[in-house]
C-alpha cells in the first residue's frame, strides 16, 4: 500500500492520462494538441516545478527544449533528459518536478527536448529529433566528459538508441545513461507482458499495442531503433536500468540488461519490489521514488567523477 499522498498523486496521474486513453481508443474527437495540453496541465499540477531551480526554454538545433538549472550553482555538467509518453503524448512541462530534482541533486543543467510526436510525426521522427538535440548540445560546446543521458519509458529506450546512433555516427558518446522503466520491446513478447498485465496501474498491454501501432505507422516493431532489445549494443557507455517489479516491461528490461552485459557494456539493473511504471515521478511523496532517484544520481555522479578525473 502506498502512502496516502503518493496514492493521491498516482490516482491524479491516471486521471490526467484519461484524455490520452480516450483519444487512442477513438472515444473522443478532441484533437491531439488539446489532448496533450490537458495531459500536461494535469501533470504539472501534480508534479510542479520545485524551488531552487530556474527553468527556461531554449533551442537545441531545430528542437525546443526546457532547461532546468540549479540556482546558485556554477556547473558544466549536462543532462539530456528524454521524456516518455509512448512517442505520442507526454511533454516537457510534465517533467518540471522530476528534472528539477535531478538538476538539484546532480548539480547539472538538465535539458528536456520537446521532440515531435506521433501520429503526426511517427517513427523515426521523434528519435531523430532527440538525436539532433544531442548533436546540438555537442555543437554548442557541451563537454562529452560532463554529459549524461536519462530517460523514462519511451525515453528510457531512447537512452540506448542515442548511444547507438552516436557510436554509429562516430561522434562522442555521453559518459553514462540511466534508463527508467524502458519501453524496450514494442512486440511485447516478454513473459511479464502476460503475468504483469493488469497489475501495473499505468500500463496495460492492449494500450501499449495501440501506442506502438500509432508510433510505428507501419514500421516493424523489431526495428532496433524502436526496440533496443533487438539492437547491436556493443561499445556503449555505462547504463543503469531501473524497473518496477510490477511492470509489464519487466522482462524486456531484464533482457536489455542481459544483452548489454553480453556486449561487455558496464550495466547495472535494479528491480524495485512493488513498483510501477516510472514511479520516480512521485519523488517527494514516495520513499521508493526518492531512493531510486538518489541511486540514479549516484550512478551518474560516479561516472562523471571518473571521466572528469581521467580527462577522457
Query: Of 83, 89, 188, 277, which is the active-site residue?
Result: 277
Catalytic-residue membership of 4: no
Q: What pTM did the predictor assign?
A: 0.97
Is residue 124 situated within a structural domain?
yes
Catalytic-residue membership of 93: no
Per-residue model confidence (pLDDT) at position 72: 82
Q: What is the CA radius of gyration of the chain?
A: 18
- Residue 264: Cβ-neighbour burial (10 angstroms; 0-12, 13-18, 19+): exposed
Residue 66 is part of which domain span?
4-224+237-280+291-310
- Residue 113: Cβ-neighbour burial (10 angstroms; 0-12, 13-18, 19+): buried
Count of domains observed in the chain: 1
Per-residue model confidence (pLDDT) at position 34: 97
Each residue of 226-270: pLDDT tens digit?
999 999 999 999 999 999 999 999 999 999 999 999 999 999 999
Per-residue model confidence (pLDDT) at position 312: 54
Is residue 195 situated within a structural domain?
yes
Is residue 285 situated within a structural domain?
no
Query: Of 89, 192, 227, 247, which is the active-site residue?
Result: 247
Is residue 176 situated within a structural domain?
yes
Cα–Cα distance between 311 and 207 in angstroms, integer? Answer: 46
Cα–Cα distance between 135 and 261 in angstroms, integer? Answer: 26
**CATH number for the domain including 267?**
3.40.50.1820
Catalytic-residue membership of 89: no
Q: What angle do CA 226, 230, 232 make, to 5 degrees?
A: 105
User: Taking the chain (312 residues) in consecutive chunks of 10 residues, what is each chunk's mean pLDDT?
Assistant: 95 97 96 96 94 97 96 90 97 96 97 98 99 98 97 99 99 99 98 95 97 98 99 99 98 99 99 98 98 99 94 62
Amino acid at each position: 500500500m502506498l502512502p496516502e499522498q503518493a496514492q493521491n498523486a498516482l490516482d491524479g496521474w491516471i486521471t490526467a492520462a484519461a484524455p490520452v486513453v480516450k483519444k487512442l481508443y477513438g472515444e473522443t474527437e478532441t484533437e491531439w494538441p488539446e489532448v496533450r495540453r490537458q495531459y500536461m496541465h494535469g501533470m504539472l499540477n501534480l508534479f510542479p516545478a520545485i524551488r531552487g531551480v530556474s527553468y527556461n526554454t531554449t533551442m537545441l538545433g531545430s528542437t525546443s527544449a526546457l532547461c532546468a538549472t540549479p540556482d546558485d550553482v556554477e556547473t558544466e555538467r549536462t543532462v539530456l533528459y528524454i521524456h516518455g509518453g509512448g512517442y505520442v503524448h507526454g511533454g516537457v512541462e510534465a517533467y518540471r518536478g522530476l528534472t528539477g530534482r535531478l538538476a538539484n541533486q546532480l548539480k547539472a543543467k538538465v535539458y528536456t527536448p520537446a521532440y515531435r510526436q506521433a501520429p503526426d510525426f511517427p517513427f523515426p521522427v521523434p528519435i531523430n529529433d532527440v538525436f539532433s538535440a544531442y548533436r546540438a548540445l555537442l555543437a554548442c560546446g557541451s563537454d562529452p566528459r560532463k554529459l549524461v543521458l536519462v530517460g523514462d519509458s519511451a525515453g528510457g529506450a531512447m537512452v540506448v538508441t542515442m548511444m547507438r546512433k552516436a557510436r554509429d555516427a562516430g561522434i562522442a558518446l555521453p559518459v553514462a545513461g540511466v534508463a527508467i522503466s524502458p519501453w524496450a520491446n514494442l512486440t511485447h513478447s516478454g513473459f511479464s507482458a502476460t503475468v504483469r498485465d493488469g497489475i501495473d496501474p499505468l500500463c496495460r498491454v492492449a494500450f501499449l499495442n495501440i501506442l506502438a501501432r500509432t508510433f510505428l505507422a507501419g514500421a516493424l516493431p523489431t526495428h532496433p531503433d524502436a526496440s533496443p532489445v533487438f539492437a547491436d549494443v556493443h561499445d556503449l557507455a555505462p547504463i543503469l536500468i531501473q524497473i518496477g517489479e510490477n511492470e509489464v516491461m519487466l522482462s524486456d528490461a531484464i533482457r536489455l540488461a542481459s544483452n548489454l552485459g553480453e556486449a561487455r557494456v558496464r550495466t547495472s539493473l535494479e528491480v524495485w519490489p512493488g513498483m510501477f511504471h516510472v514511479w520516480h515521478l512521485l519523488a517527494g511523496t514516495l520513499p521508493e521514488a526518492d531512493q531510486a532517484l538518489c541511486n540514479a544520481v549516484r550512478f551518474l555522479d560516479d561516472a562523471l567523477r571518473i571521466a572528469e578525473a581521467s580527462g577522457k
